[in-house]
Amino acid sequence: MSSPAAKNVLLVTASVGAGHNQVARTLQDRLESACPDVRVERIDLMEMCPRWFRVYYAGGFEYSMAHTPWLYGLGFTLSNTPHRPGRSWREWPRLTVERWVNRRFVRHVLDNAYDLILHTHFLAAPALEKLVESGRLTVPQATIVTDVESHRWWYCPAVRRYYAPSDYTASIVRRWGIDDSRIVVSGMPIHPKWTAAVDRERVCAAWHFPADKKIVTLTGGTSFTVGPIVEIARRLLAARADLTLAVLAGRNKNLLGDLSRLPEAGTRLFPVPFTDRAHELVGASDLMITKPGGITTAECLATGTPMVFLNPVPGHEAGNGRFFEREGAGVITRSVEHLVTTVASLLQDDTQRAAMKTAAKRLYKPGAEIVVEDVIKSFGL
């Protein structure tokens, strides 16, 4: 049991994509390790919402990203306003609905004594905004932004601390009227295994990779992540005879089967089911082909792995991709053909890959350590 002096922290996440939960788990582990007397309760907001909202919100996100990315991008752009302090009248209908669907969460907060609330998703903080304004809730709140391209929905004037993954993200938050004293450029909190040194020879031996070939890791659990995975794999292998291709297929059994039937499977092509050792593959890779999600890109920064993006989904991922391309850590491609020629060119150009690796390392910040250290100092844990 907690001692009378123990602090209680509520960590709020949401199962809308995988990144928010990963950040929450990492922060919980780090907080509990750094402060053994602190009790951390982690809740998934989707489990407290009505089922219809869960289907609409999480299911709609996944469906639109997979099947109607142009519509997702349009919605992202139209709702990403205003770029100024204060609420606009257009925001109130959304906020009213969200407060209603989150009423169980709100009751949970009011019924428990917390010393700090940490958010890794943007949905929960605005639900508490009116309580803070009325004085019914005085618990400090902090938000960890999980995309470089931050959307207006992350804005909540009741949040006392914003942890931004980059200076660019901080500039967006600043436009909303959040003072610099409330913003910490922390980087993204990721699991510590991504910062561990990787021995390429040991990785090749453990995964049965040829030791004399370049390694490229391709993520592709479903068709919308980075495009038609089997076609990409086939064309990459045909383009470069000196290539070893590892494909992270997750729990997609159909994709694993299709890849396993390609003639190079087991020699130069390695379909990888769900694994907790992806950091080994990415760390040993010469290139990573991926969508520009917040967590995946942060993991590549930690390993210093150059990134190639295929036609990012309009919205936050497209914004993330543009940021990393501007900073020299990634390259955006717009078609399978463009992807294949870009990868082939980069594998040939050791100097450019080295520059991209340097840029990735420059952008990396130890997010978990910075956030936890600041939380302890700023909120007295």
Per-residue pLDDT, 220: 67
The backbone torsions φ and ψ at residue 330, rounded to the nearest 5 degrees and listed phi first, read -150, 165
* Spatial distance between the Cα atoms of 245 and 264, rounded to a whole number of angstroms: 10
* pLDDT for the residue 147: 93
Query: Above 70 in pLDDT, residue 56?
Result: yes
State the average pLDDT over residues 359-374: 97
Give, for 70, the enclosing helix (H) or strand (E): helix 69-79
pLDDT of res. 59:
80
Buried b (16+ CB within 10 A) or exposed e, 309-330: bbbbbbbbbbbbbbbbbebbbb
- The CATH 3.40.50.2000 domain(s) of the chain lie at 8-188+366-379, 193-363
Q: Quick: pLDDT tens for 244-298.
A: 999 999 888 888 999 999 999 999 999 999 899 999 999 999 999 999 999 999 9
Who contacts 96 (Cβ-Cβ below 8 Å, separation ≥6)? none
Three-state secondary structure string covering 86-112: CCCHHHHHHHHHHHHHCHHHHHHHHHC
Residue with tokens 């450019």: 352
The pLDDT value given to residue 332: 97
For the segment 141-154, the average pLDDT, to the nearest whole number, is 96
- The reported pLDDT for the residue numbered 223 is 41
CATH code of domain 193-363: 3.40.50.2000
Q: Cβ neighbours of residue 58 under 8 Å, at least 6 residues apart?
A: 14, 15, 16, 46
Cα 315 from Cα 226, distance rounded (Å): 15
Radius of gyration of the chain (CA): 22
Length of the chain: 381
When the pLDDT of each residue in the chain is averaged and rounded to a whole number, the result is 93
Domain 8-188+366-379 part of CATH 3.30.420.40: no
Q: Are 356 and 13 in contact (CB under 8 A)?
A: no
**pLDDT-based confidence at 157, cuts 50/70/90?**
very high
Residue 4 has pLDDT above 60, yes or no: no
Q: How confident is the model at residue 344 (pLDDT cuts 50, 70, 90)?
A: very high
Residues 157-177 have a mean pLDDT of 97
Q: What is the pLDDT of residues 224-236, one digit of tens each?
A: 455 689 999 999 9
Cβ count within 10 A of residue 242: 11
Q: What whole-number distance in Å separates Cα of residue 332 and Cα of residue 325?
A: 7
- Could you tell me the pLDDT band of residue 57, with boundaries at 50, 70 and 90? confident
- Beta carbons within 8 Å of 169's beta carbon, 6+ residues apart: 145, 147, 148, 149, 150, 185
